[in-house]
Amino acid sequence: MERTRWYKDAVFYQIWPRSFCDGNGDGIGDLWGVLEKLDYIASLGVTGIWFSPLYPSPNADFGYDIADYRSINPEYGDIDVFRRVLDGAHERGLKVIMDLVVNHTSSEHSWFKESRSSKDSPYHDYYIWRTGGERAGVPIPPNNWDSLFEGRAWEYEPALDEWYLHIFAKGQPDLNMDNPCVRAEVEEILRFWLDLGVDGFREDVITFTSKAEGLPDDYLMVSGARGLRFYENGPRLHEFLAQFRDNVLVHYDCMTVGEAPMITPSKALPFIEEGPNQTLDLMFHFEHMGADCLFTDYVPLPFSLRRLKAAFDRWQHKLDGRAWNALYLENHDHPRIVSRYGSEAFREKSAMMLACSYLFQKGTPFVYQGQEIGMVNTRFSTIGEVPDVSAKNQYAKRIAAGDTPEKAMELVNRAARDHARTPMQWSDEAHAGFCPADVEPWFAENPNYLEINVARDEMDPNSVLNFYRKAIRLRRALPVVREGSYRAYKRASGVLYVYAREMADERLLVLCSFADHDVRFRVPKGYGLEEGALELCNYESEGITLPMGGRVTFRPYECRVYRFGKA
């Protein structure tokens, strides 16, 4: 089948199902809730949905520990309701991609249960087992690697006198992708969902699926962990991805986007450069999030617009004409972007400005649930209020290092992934309209739902929600956004992000202020604003200033998008 690269015209909406909408009244988001909200999703102007894992899971990592790859978590529904959601999405012109998590499974998966039952089990080699050593009569791990979520990267199985590798939580044992039987299982998983009608996959930490040969000790600490540099981009990674491409993916008009911690543009190109050797269509990186992986969200670096712009520029220029970008500012793995890169004091203006900062770049944008209404971080008082295994691990590490509980909670409140996982704020009714008033949600809603919710934004033509709709509609209407080149201006500025999209007969200028005060600056040469059409602005037009002698004044977190003809 010919693959059409339809993803280049797509805008995706990410759903983290547990917190999206409770449709059956048990306090947990589910597929009945998604079915109820399909018209809302389509109203955003997006053209696709990315589902975080919907599979059965004991929730050691809330779905990223999969116990059955060919079924739906009963908390979310079943295959029949998934088919209804899939059909309903397709009827509305929405593609659907699933999360593919094959670096690891749940420890409750039948494969792992068999694997740990005996060294003679045919499933034993489905996972990475090694013998360790002994010190003073106490077993010690095979190497000195650390996990990203839960202590050391090895867990001891006394009955086998062996250790299994878990780069993430203890309940997420790593699969042994070197085993051809495991790769054959992955192929069957791909076929199952593609034959059901899904349109592609977001492939979770896919660059971790091939580890360094021999699993050597690591004496170089990277981002606070040993072993991290040996987890990713291993020697057989291209081989594995090429097998999945050649045996399965080329037979469907689907797309793949790989999550790749620690990736750079140069390291990404061998996977995503268009041509006969391409093994992934897009790649999620972490450089513009101020981190090289999830782990480093907890490194207390202040926000730097210059660093953000440098990452944007690097990926736009390095991939231009060779590969396609994946664009995002929020997902389930990071705190809310307004609280990180914008301003809660200027919540609406900064949310709109942040939308402009990435939606008009070259690539395929992803919008995370709640981002379109400017949801912000919540506040946790104790670690007992925080469900995420990663946050609990970081808290425990800080306590072990001598921090007080209050100090450790400061770090959790700054960096926890749980900020993105509070229930979606649909209305000012009880529990933000996420679930019935007489049912406790699985996770407490952000108290600010009385002011920040979909229903309120629907009533306001100048809301964050309606700004996102305008921005997405504009992006999809202008060929220059898909085809034009990217040029950055004001690179040295610590408060302005200015970039142009240019092609022969159309140009776009995007101006974004990251300042909480007025900023006066000179517009780029060749872009007289009085000659352009103002297509988008997050302030009312009456207050917009035109250049005086080439200079213009921007208000706090102001953004504008101008369209021009030929240069």
Report d(CA 182, CA 175) in Å as an integer.
8
The question of whether 204 is a catalytic residue gets the answer yes
Q: Using CB atoms within 10 Å of the CB of residue 503, give its burial: 0 to 12 exposed, 13 to 18 middle, 19+ buried.
A: middle
Q: Using CB atoms within 10 Å of the CB of residue 493, give its burial: 0 to 12 exposed, 13 to 18 middle, 19+ buried.
A: middle
Report d(CA 419, CA 400) in Å as an integer.
24
Question: β-strands 133-135, 200-203: how paired?
Answer: unpaired
The question of whether 259 is a catalytic residue gets the answer yes
Name the phi and psi angles at 487, rounded to 5.
-135, 125
By C-alpha distance, which of 92, 240, 230 is closest to 180?
240
Q: For residue 124, which amino acid is it?
A: H
Question: β-strands 162-165, 200-203: how paired?
Answer: unpaired
Residue with tokens 């782990």: 295
Spot the catalytic one: 199, 259, 281, 445. 259
Please give the helix or strand (H or E) that residue 241 lies within, else none.
helix 237-247
CB 434, CB 22: distance < 8 Å = yes
Report d(CA 537, CA 543) in Å as an integer.
11
By C-alpha distance, which of 37, 73, 26, 32 is closest to 52?
73
Question: β-strands 533-537, 559-564: how paired?
Answer: antiparallel
Report d(CA 66, CA 73) in Å as an integer.
9
Q: Give me the torsion for CA of 180, 186, 188, 191, rounded to 10°.
A: -140
Residue 460, Cβ neighbours under 10 Å: how many? 11
Spot the catalytic one: 204, 330, 348, 457. 204
Tokens of 193: 């969902």
Catalytic residues, by residue number, are 204, 259
